Amino acid sequence: MRAVCDDSSACVAYSCGVTFIAVAIPVSRTDAVSRALESAQIAKSQGADLVEWRVDTLAEDPSGSATLIRLVQESPLPCIVTLRTESEGGAFSGSDDERIEMWRAACAAVPPPAYIDIELATYHRRVPMGDSARDIARFSSGSKLDAPRIILSFHDFHGRPAGLSSRVAEMWSDPGSAIAKVVWMARTPRDNIEAFELLASRAKPTIALCMGEHGLMSRILAPKFGGFLTYARMDDHGTAPGQPTTEELLRDWGFRSINRSTKVYGILAYPASHSRSPEIHNRWFLAANVNARLFAISVAPLWESFKATMLELFGHEPLDFCGAAVSMPHKENALRFVEESGGVIDQSTQRIGAANTIGRAADGRLFARNTDVDGVVEVLSSAMRSSGGDGDLRGKRVAILGAGGAARAAAFGVANRGASVVIANRTASKATQIAEEFAVACGDAPALDVTAKAMSALAKERFDVIVNCTSVGMEGGSAEGQNPLPEGVVLDERSVVMDAVYAPAQTALLRHASQRGAKCVGGWEMLIAQAAHQFEAWTGSRPPTDAAPAR
């Protein structure tokens, strides 16, 4: 087995660079043991290394001790025994005497558990715990090699705990613990970086993980920084927010191939949890054998928040943060950030005034690009050809709905290829500003045929192409299920309608357009097209054509 320990409490496999996957399985009743053991067997078949038996409430059962012995003895994997207190996110509300009785029972198993998790707060009480947590290991009647190792732990489900560094230092220095563990609820990406810093400076095997949406990076990148283990869940619930499944870790994240050289990318948006970009790029990275991973990073819709996050990510050298895909509402912020850092911006991106891609060039300087331009043009041209046309946008009348970064890119892309563009937005002044910027020649670049209107002014007009670049209709958004197009806009079989929203696949706009015979293009096609250009900007090569996920 991979999780074999020697008498110095250092795991042999861990010393060789393996970060374990531990699957947490709650067992609340004696009649749930058989099912729990079946779950552990499934976890083993999926690639887990350890099972954590969460027996918080089992101590209240008269048969709890015997049940725990069975769990330990029949466990298909080396196991951790945990009775987590209510104060640290568990369900145990009994006394220390009850916990000691359960630990004694676990140690009486043959073989005993590999580890017993004891909270630092419990360890502090000492009475009736004994002189130190090492006494727990002495409960075992086996040899020293068989004795359970102590995981001394601390958890905070509310945020970064006060005195974090001193608490971890205490766990490192105490000879009673073999492994130090600290887990807290992440509030920002900075929490992940602090977890990585703890791992980098560890004085003994350490588990440092962050919970919640912001903490996924710490769980996935544990091998990069030498974390002892990461936790996985068996079902939709898990024992802490943010735990992936074993299959997700191994299949989607390529957990076993993550190492110190793994490069890190992000999709920055607000919110970011709905983004399919991690799925797309991570499949391409794995298929192309590129040692990199991309994470969803939610950043509040403020310039200051975006700048602070970028500085933290790019500024932590061991993280190897090499670039970002940028979505709403940060595309203008992305351009500003690269400008202020003295990076390189190509002429079209500069003129658009928004970027969706940040990368690091070979000389270390940042660059900003806008691959939305290529994505929109490629997908629209393809749709026009599939409708019997030649795919040429020249002379076509195009309506762009919205006035954000995506709308800027779409308007520039189609106007730069000869289309006559109308930008429509609920706040007409924002659309007017974009139109005025594009209508002025810029260096060698000519003026573009771009005008602006209020959204309501589109009624009864006809366009060859309509592109929705607003979030109206987006699943989970404030305008979910709504159609951004004003009533009365003329649509027929000659029209092409594209919605940049990709979830749901069939938006209210596309249903409306389809019913009137228009050629419809979903946001998924555009997402894949622009993502392929991002991948090329970061890696220098196009992604594998057969590795993109299904819609």
Residues with catalytic roles = 155, 181, 331, 372
Give, in order, the Cα–Cα distances in Å from 405 to each of 325, 332, 470. 13, 6, 10
Three-state DSSP state, 63:
coil
Alpha helices in 162-276 (DSSP H): 164-173, 189-200, 216-220, 246-247
Distance CA 488, CA 312 (A): 49
Maximum Cα interatomic distance, the chain, rounded to a whole number of Å: 86
Three-state DSSP state, 313:
helix
Which amino acid is present at 254? G
Distance CA 84, CA 90 (A): 4
Say if residues 156 and 115 touch (Cβ distance below 8 Å).
Answer: no
Reduced 3-state DSSP string for 101-150: HHHHHHHHCCCCCCEEEEEHHHHHHCCCCCCCCHHHHHCCCCCHHHCCEE
492, with CB counted inside 10 A (0-12, 13-18, 19+), is exposed
Both tokens assigned to 218: 């710490």
> Minimal CA–CA distance to 77: which of 94, 52, 58, 109?
52
Distance CA 528, CA 280 (A): 8
Say if residues 148 and 119 touch (Cβ distance below 8 Å).
Answer: no
> Minimal CA–CA distance to 182: which of 204, 207, 146, 148?
207
Report the Cα–Cα distance between both ends of the chain, in Å, rounded.
39
Residue 163: which region, alpha, beta or left (left: phi > 0; alpha: psi -120 to 50)?
left
